[in-house]
Amino acid sequence: MAALLIFIEGCGFEGKQIFVEEGAEYELTPLNDSELVNDKYYIKNGSKFYEAYMPNGTVSSMASQVDSKRLFWLDVDESLIPTYYKGELIAYPSENLSLDRISVERFSDVGYSIGLYGGTVDDEGYLCYKLKENSIGVSNAYSVLSQSKSDQIRITTINDNPVNTDSINSGGIITGLSQNEEYTIGYYAGTYYSTATVKADEHYLQSYEIINIDKAETTKNGYLSISLPDDAKSGYYLINGYGLFKYYDY
């Protein structure tokens, strides 16, 4: 792996040069129980703890009910989601003695698509998006379509196949695409018709189920212990609106 050379000046550094591995910012940081910070959620894996991770998306808080418009999208940051294996726990250090509410929201894996979400289908069966509201700024699709004559985009075909209501899911995401594959779309930007090649470079998760947990267990290790129910399914979960982890039922 390549290394980045960084030159640092300031208090205590005296112009030192340090090397940082490229991509290190996308590696999980293991912590000991003595390093945990209050009011954060950590996934225990053996003797180490990993903070739950909050990706980009339409989610900003805890949900009281399932909403198909609650989405996450993942890119290179997917590696920052910690793994929870059955039999382990979620640690919550705090000055408080208990948690008022414990909720885990399960997210279904939608798969990969282009960087557009929240779309609707108009009377002509076209897929409609407003780029400023319904696109991911770092995606290939936004980079390509933002050069169009209008913010109003109506997709008519994908690889020459007409789109319809089955082309998108309840979150307005185009489905049936493969990871990092390129697709030629026919579309109107306002009244102007054009074609473009876009890449399915975004991995989407969508709210699917909410599970309420009765209580957290007190431990002598400096944190409350939260466990998923025995019948919890493998998948992605959001703990109390704070951050994601990926659960494996084994």
Express each pLDDT in 201-216 by its tens digit.
Answer: 999 999 999 999 999 9
pLDDT at 98: 87
Q: Is the pLDDT of residue 18 over 50?
A: no
Across-strand partners of 201? none
Could you give the CA distance from residue 230 to residue 55 in angstroms, rounded to a whole number?
Answer: 26
Higher pLDDT, 22 or 7: 22
Percent of the chain whose pLDDT exceeds 90:
88
Q: Is the pLDDT of residue 128 over 50?
A: yes
| Model confidence band, residue 8 (pLDDT cutoffs 50, 70, 90) | very low
Could you give the CA distance from residue 117 to residue 170 in angstroms, rounded to a whole number?
Answer: 10
pLDDT at 15: 40
Supply the pTM of this predicted model: 0.89
Query: Phi first, then psi: what are they for 132, rounded to 5°?
Result: -70, -25
Could you give the CA distance from residue 58 to residue 196 in angstroms, rounded to a whole number?
Answer: 26
Higher pLDDT, 22 or 146: 146
- The pLDDT of 73-80, averaged and rounded, is 96
pLDDT tens sequence across 137-194: 999 999 999 999 999 999 999 999 999 999 999 999 999 999 999 999 999 999 999 9
Higher pLDDT, 1 or 203: 203
Could you give the CA distance from residue 59 to residue 146 in angstroms, rounded to a whole number?
Answer: 24
| Model confidence band, residue 20 (pLDDT cutoffs 50, 70, 90) | very low
